[in-house]
């Protein structure tokens, strides 16, 4: 027996695609992904209409989806992140149905709970055998972890694996097992390696970024959480990576043996693992080549599914035991709500990803961002979109001051510890005032009437709506 079919077209036919169905994709190929465009192009050619695309993320490379929306092939999008190119078109109102935004944990859990149904999942697999045992660890398009694709594979009615490295059965060290897979298609190329992972992720040299990073590291130190058993997540942004570097230096200097590092994994987290800062890495997505090499060769660098990373449908998840997470923001409001979905003009250019999941789980959720960006203040009266509820955010670090969220009497002890450590602790309203004194008071942005996106929180409830731009 073999599940190999000759083409994507044949796989679509055999899966029984019909108008109005929901198809899914995962985003480990990131901005190098060919699979989503390839499949949609085929579906458009076959004349299907009115499909919903549930992709864990939509990147700029997926710009052709705008054409498929205009010609009625795609009438719904569900995702956890949307890049600025497609985001702009959505914000301008090209689609009738609002986009459904979820978090990384929420997407997987909604599939598992059955509230988000997938008819056909298309899995971009850098290596697969002809029965569908597949992985991202090997092959010319290797991306490392394919953690976001597990929920799709396990919950979709039909599952198609698309690979550019077909190997003999059984694939050794598979990630997704054959039991979930219906068909396998071999193609020339599933992605552009240059867009899949960065060669290296670099630490910022911007003095403002380094200042913020140094404060964030001191906050972690002063919090008392930096001790044996420490667990940590950071993104791939320049300032958050710089913070990781400072944290690593402190851990090595004090001989602290942490427990785990988690998230999208960069070479810096791999360095921390190799130098004994952590016992293990829990990896849902690799950001650079060093991370890919590490997950392939180091058993302590473990692939986890989105559910195990950040979901609410499992009996526990990695985020539940996280000590510290470092997160970014485009806007923070006076109640510590965070916007990572839109820019300051209200255009969609991002999404929660694991932002709200990790903020909810971590003991200390730190937002790190500059006081102003291109004259616009970080702290505003009301965020244009609530991506992460303020009640899950503990500290906002800027280069000019650090605000602690003490609403409801929480974090009082933390605030005192930061003051004792001689850190520049201010109120959140002070950060807004300082920015406005420096850069002026921006005229409020007026949004349009149409709801272009709904933001669903990790527990499945509606968190906010994003309106069209004027």
Contact residues for another protein, defined by CB under 8 A: 344-345, 372-376, 438-440, 442-443, 445
Task: Assign 196 to helix, strand or coil.
Answer: helix
Residue 139 or 350: which CB sits closer to another protein? 350
> Strand pairing partners for 186?
163
User: To the nearest whole angstrom, how small is the minimum distance from the Cβ of residue 80 to another protein?
Assistant: 27
User: To the nearest whole angstrom, how small is the minimum distance from the Cβ of residue 469 to another protein?
Assistant: 10
User: To the nearest whole angstrom, how small is the minimum distance from the Cβ of residue 442 to another protein?
Assistant: 3
The number of angstroms, rounded, from the C-alpha of 389 to the middle of its chain's C-alpha atoms is 17
User: To the nearest whole angstrom, how small is the minimum distance from the Cβ of residue 464 to another protein?
Assistant: 21
Residue 193 or 442: which CB sits closer to another protein? 442
Residue 172 or 441: which CB sits closer to another protein? 441
Residue 227 or 382: which CB sits closer to another protein? 382
Task: Assign 35 to helix, strand or coil.
Answer: helix
Residue 38 or 371: which CB sits closer to another protein? 371
> Strand pairing partners for 123?
161
Instruction: Give the separation between CA 398 and CA 211, rounded to whole angstroms.
Output: 8
Number of residues written out for the chain: 470
Residue 285 or 342: which CB sits closer to another protein? 342
Cα three-residue angle 302-55-166, rounded to 5 degrees: 60
Residue 1 or 374: which CB sits closer to another protein? 374
DSSP 169: S
The half-sphere exposure of 162 on its side-chain side, counting CA atoms within 13 A, is 27
Nearest to residue 35, comparing CAs of 57, 1, 62, 14? 62
User: To the nearest whole angstrom, how small is the minimum distance from the Cβ of residue 344 to another protein?
Assistant: 7
Cis amide leading into 39 (omega within 30)? no
Please, are residues 36 and 64 in contact by the beta-carbon 8 Å criterion?
Answer: no
Please, are residues 371 and 400 in contact by the beta-carbon 8 Å criterion?
Answer: yes
Q: Is the dihedral of CA 11, 16, 20, 26 positive or negative?
A: negative
User: To the nearest whole angstrom, how small is the minimum distance from the Cβ of residue 327 to another protein?
Assistant: 21
User: To the nearest whole angstrom, how small is the minimum distance from the Cβ of residue 377 to another protein?
Assistant: 10
Residue 188 or 437: which CB sits closer to another protein? 437
Residue 325 or 434: which CB sits closer to another protein? 434
What is the full DSSP assignment across 46-110?
TT--SEEEEES-B-GGGTTHHHHHHTTSEEEEEES-B-HHHHHHHHTT--SSPEEE-BHHHHHHH
Residue 188 or 449: which CB sits closer to another protein? 449
Instruction: Give the separation between CA 262 and CA 256, rounded to whole angstroms.
Output: 17
Radius of gyration of the chain (CA): 22
User: To the nearest whole angstrom, how small is the minimum distance from the Cβ of residue 301 to another protein?
Assistant: 35
Biggest CA pair distance of the chain: 71
Instruction: Give the separation between CA 15 and CA 43, rounded to whole angstroms.
Output: 12
Residue 334 or 376: which CB sits closer to another protein? 376
Instruction: Give the separation between CA 456 and CA 30, rounded to whole angstroms.
Output: 22
User: How many angstroms separate the Cα of 291 from the Cα of each of 194, 266, 340?
Assistant: 15, 6, 25
Residue 76 or 370: which CB sits closer to another protein? 370
User: To the nearest whole angstrom, how small is the minimum distance from the Cβ of residue 339 to another protein?
Assistant: 16
Count the neighbouring beta carbons within 10 Å of the beta carbon of residue 9: 15
Where does residue 115 fall: left (phi above 0), alpha (psi -120 to 50 degrees), or beta otherwise? alpha
User: To the nearest whole angstrom, how small is the minimum distance from the Cβ of residue 372 to another protein?
Assistant: 8
User: To the nearest whole angstrom, how small is the minimum distance from the Cβ of residue 441 to another protein?
Assistant: 9
User: To the nearest whole angstrom, how small is the minimum distance from the Cβ of residue 385 to another protein?
Assistant: 17
The number of angstroms, rounded, from the C-alpha of 134 to the middle of its chain's C-alpha atoms is 22
């Amino acid at each position: 027996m073999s599940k190999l079919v000759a083409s994507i077209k044949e796989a679509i036919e055999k899966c029984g695609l019909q108008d109005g169905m929901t198809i899914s994709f995962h985003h480990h190929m990131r901005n190098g992904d060919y699979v989503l465009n390839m499949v949609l192009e085929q579906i458009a050619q076959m004349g299907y209409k009115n499909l919903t695309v549930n992709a864990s993320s939509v990147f700029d490379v997926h710009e052709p989806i705008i054409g498929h929306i205009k010609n009625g092939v795609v009438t719904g999008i569900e995702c956890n992140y949307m890049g600025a190119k497609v985001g702009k078109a959505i914000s301008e109102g090209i689609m009738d149905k609002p986009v459904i935004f979820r978090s990384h944990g929420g997407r997987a859990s909604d599939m598992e709970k059955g509230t988000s149904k997938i008819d056909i999942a298309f899995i971009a697999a850098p290596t697969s055998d002809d029965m569908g045992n597949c992985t991202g660890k090997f092959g010319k398009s290797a991306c490392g972890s394919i953690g976001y694709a597990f929920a799709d594979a396990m919950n979709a009615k039909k599952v198609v694996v698309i690979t550019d490295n077909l190997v003999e059965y059984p694939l050794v060290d598979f990630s997704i097992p054959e039991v979930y897979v219906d068909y396998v298609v071999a193609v020339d190329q599933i992605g552009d390696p240059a867009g899949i992972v960065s060669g290296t992720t670099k630490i910022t040299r911007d003095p403002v970024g380094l200042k913020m990073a140094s404060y964030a590291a001191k906050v972690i130190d002063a919090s008392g959480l930096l001790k044996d058993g420490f667990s940590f997540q950071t993104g791939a942004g320049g300032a958050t990576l710089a913070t990781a570097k400072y944290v690593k230096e402190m851990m090595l200097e004090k001989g602290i043996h942490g427990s785990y590092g988690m998230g999208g994994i960069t070479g810096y987290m791999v360095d921390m693992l190799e130098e004994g800062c952590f016992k293990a890495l829990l990896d849902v997505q690799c950001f650079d080549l060093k991370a890919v090499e590490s997950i392939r060769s180091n058993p302590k660098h473990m692939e986890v599914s989105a559910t195990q990373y950040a979901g609410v449908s499992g009996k526990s998840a990695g985020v539940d035991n996280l000590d510290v997470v470092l997160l970014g923001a485009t806007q923070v409001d006076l109640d510590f709500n965070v916007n990572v979905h839109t820019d300051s003009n209200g255009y969609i250019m991002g999404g929660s990803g694991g932002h709200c999941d990790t903020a909810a789980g971590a003991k200390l959720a730190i937002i790190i961002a500059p006081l102003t960006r291109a004259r616009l203040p970080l702290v505003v009266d009301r965020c244009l979109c609530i991506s992460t509820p303020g009640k899950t955010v503990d500290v906002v670090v800027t280069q000019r001051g650090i605000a602690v969220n003490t609403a409801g009497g929480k974090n009082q002890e933390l605030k005192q510890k930061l003051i004792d450590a001689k850190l520049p602790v201010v109120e959140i309203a002070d950060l807004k005032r300082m920015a406005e004194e420096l850069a002026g008071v921006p005229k409020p942005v007026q949004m349009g009437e149409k709801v272009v996106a709904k933001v669903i929180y990790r527990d499945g409830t509606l968190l906010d709506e994003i309106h069209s731009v004027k």
